[in-house]
Amino acid sequence: MKAAVIVFPGSNCDRDLADAITKVTGTAPQMVWHAETSLPEGLDFIGIPGGFSYGDYLRSGAMAARSPVMQAVVAAAGEGRTVLGICNGFQVLTETGLLPGALMRNAGLNFVCREVRLEVVNSQSIFTSRYAAGETVTIPVAHHDGNYFADEDTLNRLEGEGRVAFRYAEPVNGSARAIAGILNDAGNVLGMMPHPERLIEDAQGGTDGRRMFEAAQAALG
């Protein structure tokens, strides 16, 4: 699996994500700076990391979504390449339009930083095939703007098409229908607020995030 991790000014989970990919797949991803206008050739997997790209100016993810490298990521997603956006990466993906909806300020206004229980809703995707549908996993969140919003039609479509990958199994941020992660219509793009890259080995307190990277590697070779 040939992977890249995009790095914006203000990204702070880029090295965690690269470390997770390296430890699970055995191959280090290429780190790609936001000002690049093209991606390395032959990528299978593109990671958009968590953090506070461009200081969250204007809206979380808004500036990053208009950066040169994201035009290349949008094109790559259109070609069917696998894209995973975590936390700020999810916000960036909604701002580019690769995923529907928006991530708003948490309903309780507080920054939420703790482990949360998630229900795996779709276990058929590139990202989630190593989980069982209905299984509960524990993965940390750390965000201020994770309150997923979309209009009712969009929410019904996401649910009807099996595009809700994860739901919160406990109150976290006020997200519509407790949505924690969603897929695009082709299934090659996943955005999620929780941080699977933070739970890939026992030293981190658990391994519930590891299976996501194992699933991607199994699907992408």
Partner 1 sequence: MAAPMKATVTVTLKNGVLDPQGRAIESALKGLGFEGVGDVRAGKIIELELADGTSRETVEAMARQLLANTVIENFRIEMP
Binding stretches for partner 1 (CB under 8 A): 58-59, 62, 66, 94-95, 100-102, 104-109, 147, 149-150, 174
Q: Which is nearer to partner 1, 112 or 212 (CB)?
A: 112
In angstroms, the CA 204 to CA 135 distance is 21
| Among candidate residues 201, 202, 203, 204, the one with its CA nearest the CA of residue 21 | 201
**DSSP letters of 84-153?**
EEETHHHHHHHHHTSS-SEEE--TT-S-EEEEEEEEE---SSTTTTTS-TT-EEEEEEEESS-EEE--HH
Cross-strand pairs, 114: 141
For partner 1, the closer of residues 101 and 191 by Cβ is: 101
Which CB sits closer to partner 1, 58 or 218? Answer: 58
Q: Are strands 45-48 and 82-86 parallel, antiparallel or unpaired?
A: parallel
Q: How far is the CB of 62 from partner 1 (least distance, A)?
A: 7
Residue 59 vs 117, nearer CB to partner 1: 59
CB of 56 to partner 1, least distance (A): 13
CB 163 within 8 A of CB 114: no
- Residue 11 pairs in a beta bridge with 51
- The residues annotated as belonging to the active site are 87, 195, 197
Cβ at position 149, least distance to partner 1 in Å: 6
DSSP helix/strand/coil, 191: strand
